[in-house]
Amino acid sequence: MTATAADHPSTTRHVLAWLCAAVALAFIAGVALWLDVSLWSIVVMAIALACPVVALWIYALGRRPLPVPLGPVPQTRGVSLDWLAPWYDVVCRAVGVNKRFRDLTLQLAALRPGEHVLDVGCGTGVLARRAADMVGVTGSCCGIDVAPDMVRMAQQSKQAGVNPVRFSLGVVEELAFEASSFDVVFLSFVLHCLPPDLKEAGLREIRRVLRPGGRLVVVDLDQPVGLLPRFLARLCLRHPYMAMHLEGRTIDLLRAAGFSAVARRSSWRGLVGFWIAAKPA
C-alpha cells in the first residue's frame, strides 16, 4: 500500500497550527496594548511573530513521513525517540554525529562482502545503508527501531544506497530473527535508553542472533573525560538508565552477557565510547 499526501492526518495539526498562531497574536496584542502603541503596530508585530511560528510548524509537519503501515508497534520499557524523527538527522549533524563519526563505527566493524548485518536502533537508517553498500549484493543488512516514524523515515529516505536495506519495527530485548543469523550487529546509542534488566536481555538476544565468532559494535555514553563532558555527565548520573555507562561500566555489561574479546577501541569528545566484542566461536 502506497501512502499519498491525501492520507496525511492533518486536521488536528492544522487546528493546533491555528491555535499557535492565535496565541502568538494574543500575546503580541497584549504587549502592544501595554506599551500603548497603534493598532497598525499591533498588526505588524503580530504578523512578525505569527509568520515564523506558523512557518516552523508547517516545516515540521512537512518533515514528518507519510503514514506507511508498519504493523503493531512493539511494547518496550525503553525510551523511544519517535517524537524526534523529523529532526533526527539535523540534530545528529549539529552534535557531530556525522560522516566521520559513522566512518569510525564502520571501521571498527571491519565489514566484508557477503556478510549479514543487523543495525539495532537504526534511527533513520544512515548507518545501515552505508553498511549495506559495504557488504555488497552477496550480503544483507536489516535495520530495526522501536520508533515507527524513524522506520518510516528510513524506508522513505531519498539517500538510499546501492543495496537495499530491510527496515522494520523491533526491540532489542526480543529480536525477531533466527539464532546465528548475522555476522555483525551494530548497537549505536541504544543501551543508555534501556533500564538495566533490558540492557542485559537485549545483549543476550544479540548474542543469540550472532553467528559464532560474529562481532558486536557498541557506541554509547562513556565515562567522561574533560571539564565540559564531566559537567554534562553529572546532570545525567542519577538517571538509572545512564549511570552505569557514565561510570565506565559498559565493558562489564558486555562481558557479563557472555561476549569475548571485549575492548574499548575509541572515544569521541570525551563522552562517547566505542566497543567491539565477539560471540565465542
Half-sphere exposure for 169 (CA within 13 Å, toward CB): 16
Fold annotation for 82-279: Rossmann fold (3.40.50)
The residues near 28 (Cβ < 8 Å, ≥ 6 apart) are 42, 45, 46, 48, 49, 50
Confidence at 36, pLDDT banded by 50, 70, 90: low
C-alpha cell, 37: 502603541
CB-based contact 50:24 (threshold 8 Å): yes
Question: Which stretches of the chain are DSSP H helices?
Answer: 11-35, 39-63, 88-95, 99-109, 126-135, 148-156, 196-209, 227-236, 243-246, 250-256
CA distance 84 to 99: 20
The residues near 154 (Cβ < 8 Å, ≥ 6 apart) are 122, 123, 124, 125, 128, 143, 145, 165, 167
Evaluated on CA atoms 155, 159, 164, 166, the torsion sign reads negative
Please give the pLDDT value at position 214. 98
Inform me whether the pLDDT recorded for 21 exceeds 80. no
Residue 184 region, left (φ>0) first, then alpha (ψ -120 to 50), else beta?
beta
Half-sphere exposure for 45 (CA within 13 Å, toward CB): 17
Q: Give the DSSP H or E segment for 168.
A: strand 166-169
Q: Where in the chain is the domain with CATH 3.40.50.150?
A: 82-279
For 227-236, write each residue's pLDDT tens digit: 877 887 777 7
Evaluated on CA atoms 113, 116, 120, 122, the torsion sign reads positive
For 54-89, write each residue's pLDDT tens digit: 666 656 655 666 677 788 999 999 999 998 888 899
CA distance 61 to 70: 20
Buried b (16+ CB within 10 A) or exposed e, 172-197: bbebebeeebbbbbbbbbbbbbbeee
Kindly list the distances between the CA atom of residue 155 and the CA atoms of 35, 142, 188, 207, 228, in Å, as whole numbers in the listed order.
52, 11, 19, 27, 37
Inform me whether the pLDDT recorded for 5 exceeds 60. no
Percentage of residues of the chain with pLDDT beyond 70:
78
CA distance 268 to 226: 11
Please give the pLDDT value at position 2. 39
Please give the pLDDT value at position 253. 97
For 175-198, write each residue's pLDDT tens digit: 999 999 999 999 999 999 999 999
Q: Mean pLDDT throughout 112-140?
A: 96
CB-based contact 181:149 (threshold 8 Å): no
For 236-274, write each residue's pLDDT tens digit: 777 889 999 999 999 999 999 999 999 999 999 899 999
Q: Say which amino acid occupies 34.
A: W
